[in-house]
Amino acid sequence: MPQQQPEQQAPPVQRLRVRYAKRGRLRFTSHRDFSRAFERAVFRARIPMAYSSGFNPHPRISYAGAAPTGSASEAEYLELALAEVVVPADVHALLDAALPPGLDVLEVVESPGGSLADLLEGSRWRIEVAADHDTAADAVARFLAADQALVERMTKKGMREFDARGAVVSLSVLPADASARTTLDVVLRHGTPAVRPDDVLRGLETVAGLSAGEAPLMTRLAQGPLLASGELADPLASRA
């Protein structure tokens, strides 16, 4: 008896790019948990998704540059492949209503084509640490003057050592305010392995002895194409 062939799905007719935020306690949502929640939201919102071919079709959702678990973000991105042409603003409203507060859809635009992941060349982070402002400023100066800052982190391939300094495009201490915490602003160049904001904190400790204290708050403010100026461009700005 000939083996049954899997059903072949029609190709997508439209792709949408979505920017969303992880806020509050939902910053502790893992990428796997988020992807499950998002697929449920797509189903509840009745978005006309395109599906993969094969014996176990799944909605065609491409995730790009997810933030580490435990960090908040105002700039997470994904792309939806659709079976029908829709109005992006309608999808925005439907998804935002279907997701729990704290997982918030910020923008939905039509994809002009090409790879979304390739546009995410860098990230800007705000890191709040329990350290004295002047002490942090001195540590940042020493870190920036260093040739490298070797740190270790457990990855899927085991313990890896890599240079946290090499990925830092810019790093500064924001002016002191009434808060008991000191705020760092850092732009990181994406690479392999990806250097995360907690790696930068370990590098600051290794190079300059800076202690970030308990539970530093890390928030991704932006990610996108990395300009020659060291700033980040909007990855959704180029629209068809």
How distant, in Å, are the alpha carbons of 41, 43, 68, 84, 211 from that of 65? 20, 23, 9, 26, 28
Q: Which structure tokens are listed for 116?
A: 């979304």
DSSP category for residue 162? E
Sequence ranges of the domains in the chain: 14-118, 121-224
Q: Can you give the pLDDT at residue 126?
A: 97
CA 118 to chain centre: 13
- pLDDT per residue, tens digit, the chain (240 aa), is 556 666 677 789 999 999 999 999 999 989 999 999 999 999 999 999 999 877 788 899 999 988 999 999 999 999 999 999 999 999 999 999 999 999 999 999 999 999 999 999 999 999 999 999 999 999 999 999 999 999 988 877 788 888 999 999 999 999 987 677 899 999 999 988 889 999 999 999 999 999 998 889 999 999 999 999 999 999 998 644
Q: Can you give the pLDDT at residue 156?
A: 78
Rounded to 10 degrees, the C-alpha dihedral 29/226/171/211 comes to: 30
Same CATH fold assignment for domains 14-118 and 121-224: yes
CATH fold of 121-224, please? Alpha-Beta Plaits (3.30.70)
Rounded to 10 degrees, the C-alpha dihedral 22/37/110/55 comes to: 150
SS3 content of the chain, % helix, strand, coil (to 5): 25, 35, 40
> How many residues are given for the chain?
240
Which residue, 171, 233, 232, 175, is CA-closest to 197?
A: 171
CB 50 within 8 A of CB 101: no
CATH fold of 14-118, please? Alpha-Beta Plaits (3.30.70)
How distant, in Å, are the alpha carbons of 137, 145, 222, 236 from that of 183? 10, 20, 16, 28
| Cα–Cα distance measured from residue 91 to residue 81, given in angstroms and rounded to the nearest whole number | 12
CB 84 within 8 A of CB 15: no
Q: Can you give the pLDDT at residue 6?
A: 64
CB 187 within 8 A of CB 168: yes
